[in-house]
Amino acid sequence: MICSDCDKEFSTKSNLTRHQKLNNCLSKCPHCDVMCRRAIHLLNCPTLLNHRIKELEQQNENLTIENTQLNAQMTPMRIRNTQLEMDNERYIGQITKLQDDLTKKLTELTKEMKKANKKKQPQYVITNNTTNNNNIRIENLTILNPSDFAKFSESLTMEHIKRGAIGYAEFATTFPLHNKIICTDLPRKKIKYKTSKNEVKSDVHMRSITKDLFQSINERNKNLILDYAKNTIDVIKNTEEKMMAYEKFMKYISLIRDGAQGIDHSLYPDFVREVCMMSI
């Protein structure tokens, strides 16, 4: 058994206990030169405690200096981040205002076009020859199955999107609706097609198939526009020109998304008209 005060070795615990009770193990403290029982004294040695307090104070001072330096490095970054947030909010506000202005202009233009079309709409006279010709074309139509529309989504290109309603209509009549519909009444925008049961169905204003058509291209349409924005619009240096480009193409994301949900939108009447004119 070894005494923790003086490091002397004893053969039994009783000898060690007697040794400690008789205070035979007093030794000089290495820190304050006091004769003491080392194991007990070191717990409260004032010199040692002061030394440890100074070490802790020095560590705290070092941490304070390091923290001050880090704060100094972070300050410019915080200022820059605040500036970016302010710029982003201002940019979003400008975009929102442009969207509202454009939506208002598009609504007014659509109303004017409808009024003009009503005044200039020609009267179509369906003759027996026209009816017979339509019947022959209807017989030659292939089956229209909305579940097949998705197969043609990759054929949609940015060039279609750039042309707006005409471009989307050109895509539809060239790929998913090719040889599958015929417009039999242009003023009413009435089309006919064959179902999977080989039945001929009529569809005024293409209400029954446009939702499925827009659903099939919704994701492809969004990805094409976002890629175009990243690779083409973002490199435009003129801020106003860049914002106008964003507004022009980003609206087609929301229009096709609305169409995929069956919601009427400003693109819908022009798209249907163009599809019907291409399917006469």
Determine, yes or no, domain membership for 80. Answer: no
Domain boundary among 44, 74, 104: 74
* Least confident interval from 34-43, 113-122, 193-202, 250-259: 34-43
Determine, yes or no, domain membership for 234. Answer: yes
Q: What is residue 146's predicted lDDT score, i.e. its pLDDT?
A: 92
Q: Which residue type, as a one-letter code, is found at position 176?
A: P
**One domain for residues 174 and 263:** yes
- Angle formed at CA 40 by CA 37 and CA 46, multiple of 5 degrees: 100
Q: What is residue 124's predicted lDDT score, i.e. its pLDDT?
A: 45
Q: What is residue 48's predicted lDDT score, i.e. its pLDDT?
A: 63
Domain boundary among 40, 58, 74: 74
**One domain for residues 55 and 154:** no
Q: Does the pLDDT of residue 125 top 60, yes or no?
A: no
Distance CA 234, CA 242 (A): 7
Q: What is residue 143's predicted lDDT score, i.e. its pLDDT?
A: 93
Residue with the bigger pLDDT between 176 and 29: it is: 176
Q: What is residue 115's predicted lDDT score, i.e. its pLDDT?
A: 78
Determine, yes or no, domain membership for 27. Answer: yes
Q: What is residue 138's predicted lDDT score, i.e. its pLDDT?
A: 83
**One domain for residues 139 and 237:** yes
Determine, yes or no, domain membership for 202. Answer: yes
Distance CA 161, CA 252 (A): 8
Q: Which of 34-43, 73-82, 243-252 has the highest mean pLDDT?
A: 243-252
Closest C-alpha to 178, from 209, 142, 214: 142
**One domain for residues 188 and 246:** yes
Q: Does the pLDDT of residue 23 top 60, yes or no?
A: no
**One domain for residues 69 and 133:** no
Determine, yes or no, domain membership for 104. Answer: no
Determine, yes or no, domain membership for 115. Answer: no
Q: What is residue 27's predicted lDDT score, i.e. its pLDDT?
A: 62
Q: What is the pLDDT of residues 34-57, one digit of tens each?
A: 655 555 555 567 776 777 788 888
User: Strand (E) positions, the chain?
Assistant: 27-28, 35-36, 181-185, 190-194, 200-204
- Domains of the chain: total: 2
Q: What is residue 118's predicted lDDT score, i.e. its pLDDT?
A: 67
Determine, yes or no, domain membership for 269. Answer: yes
Mean pLDDT (the chain, rounded): 83
Domain boundary among 51, 74, 97: 74
Determine, yes or no, domain membership for 99. Answer: no
CA 174 to chain centre: 31
Domain that holds residue 254: 122-278
